[in-house]
Amino acid sequence: MNGRECWGIFRERAHSPGREFDDAEILRLTGKHLDANGFHVSLKTPDEIPATVTGSPSVMFMMCEQTGILEQLHRWDGKGASIVNSPVSVRNTYRERMVLLFEQAQVASPASRIMPTETSGVRYAGSVWVKRGDVHSTQDGDVTFAGGGDEAERALRRLALRGIRSAVVQDHVPGDLIKFYGIGRPDLLPRDGTWFRWFYHKDQHVAGHPFDPEKLADLAHRAAAALGLEIYGGDAIVSDGGAMTVIDLNAWPSFALYREEAAERIASYLTERFLEGHAS
């Protein structure tokens, strides 16, 4: 392998509220394992990425999410660089895109409306979640539970006052909240298979609705494939009767509960991806 050059790019601090250490640590540990696999890894912040492709390596792994750096990396991707997750797939996690892609792929997800935040007269019969339409939650107010139309309208207005133009309003789905992590996709199957873990979200009363973990893994894989993600985490609801709904999907989470195991598995996956030239 001759110390093949590889960059790892940290997530922006603004996109890691309360998770700055965890997000940075999973990237560092992944880089450590890739070094052991024969790569020469340099870890960089998005601000340290040069504007030109000249001198950049052909393989990268990254957690950054802001539009500017994703557009830049997308240009590099178009010139033959292998980047995981791909810049396009990370952009697909922006809520407006994700809602549409899940609908197209028939991934079970809450009924959702994309609407301008400058909206009045919002009327909903039940409870909803009002979420900013672009990136995931970066601060209080980005995701708000609303018990009805008046509360939803106030949440939309608060987003508008912050300069956020659009929102996704999703029906509330009752049930047990489950978090999950995944590495790999069945359509880009590594030799040692995909990796998947799930656990109940803390700070909730768990009703214990029975469900099939293999079906949850299949749902998560299909959701990731719909966005083009290879390393991902998300949230799902298991309702009474075992129905499962994906309510969120993120590119490259912190893997906090499984950090050591996940970092080694990610590095193994990236080694195979980068050496065999598989592209998403």
Query: Is beta strand 176-183 parallel, antiparallel or unpaired with respect to 143-146?
Result: unpaired
Residue finishing a domain among 171, 197, 220: 171
Q: In what order do the strands lie in the sheet with 59-62?
A: 39-44, 4-9, 59-62, 82-84
Residue with tokens 């790892």: 8
Mind listing the pLDDT tens digit for each residue in 148-162? Answer: 888 999 999 999 999
Helix H or strand E encompassing 30 = helix 20-36
Mind listing the pLDDT tens digit for each residue in 213-270? Answer: 999 999 999 999 999 999 999 999 999 999 999 999 999 999 999 999 999 999 999 9
**Nearest-angstrom CA–CA distance, 241 and 250:** 26
Q: Is residue 218 domain-shared with residue 242, that is, in the same domain?
A: yes
**Nearest-angstrom CA–CA distance, 171 and 125:** 10
Region 124-130 average pLDDT? 87
**Nearest-angstrom CA–CA distance, 145 and 110:** 14
Three-state DSSP class for residue 199: strand
| Cis peptide bond N-terminal to 2, omega within 30 | no
With a CB cutoff of 8 Å and minimum separation 6, the contacts of 153 are 119, 120, 121, 122
| Inside any domain, residue 160 | yes
Instruction: Decide: 234 and 244 in contact? Cβ < 8 Å.
Output: no
| Inside any domain, residue 66 | yes
Share of the chain above pLDDT 90, in %: 72
Q: Is residue 181 domain-shared with residue 143, that is, in the same domain?
A: no
Q: Is residue 9 domain-shared with residue 75, that is, in the same domain?
A: yes
| Inside any domain, residue 259 | no
Residue 209, CA distances (Å) to 103, 172, 173, 206 in order: 25, 17, 14, 8
Q: Is residue 118 domain-shared with residue 87, that is, in the same domain?
A: no
Helix H or strand E encompassing 22 = helix 20-36
Neighbours of 236 (CB within 10 A): 26
Instruction: Decide: 107 and 219 in contact? Cβ < 8 Å.
Output: yes
Residue 133, CA distances (Å) to 18, 151, 161 in order: 21, 17, 14
Alpha-carbon torsion angle 262, 12, 245, 208, nearest 10: 60
Instruction: Kindly report the CATH number assigned to the domain that includes residue 11.
Output: 3.40.50.20
**Nearest-angstrom CA–CA distance, 146 and 29:** 39
| Inside any domain, residue 105 | no
**Residue 220 lies in domain:** 176-254
Q: Is residue 210 domain-shared with residue 197, that is, in the same domain?
A: yes
Domains contained in the chain, number: 3
Tokens of 141: 């107010």
Mind listing the pLDDT tens digit for each residue in 8-35? Answer: 999 998 887 777 889 999 999 999 999 9
Mind listing the pLDDT tens digit for each residue in 254-267? Answer: 999 999 999 999 99
| Inside any domain, residue 267 | no
At 53, the pLDDT band (50, 70, 90 cuts) reads low
Q: Is residue 29 domain-shared with residue 85, that is, in the same domain?
A: yes
Q: Is residue 207 domain-shared with residue 220, that is, in the same domain?
A: yes
Neighbours of 86 (CB within 10 A): 23
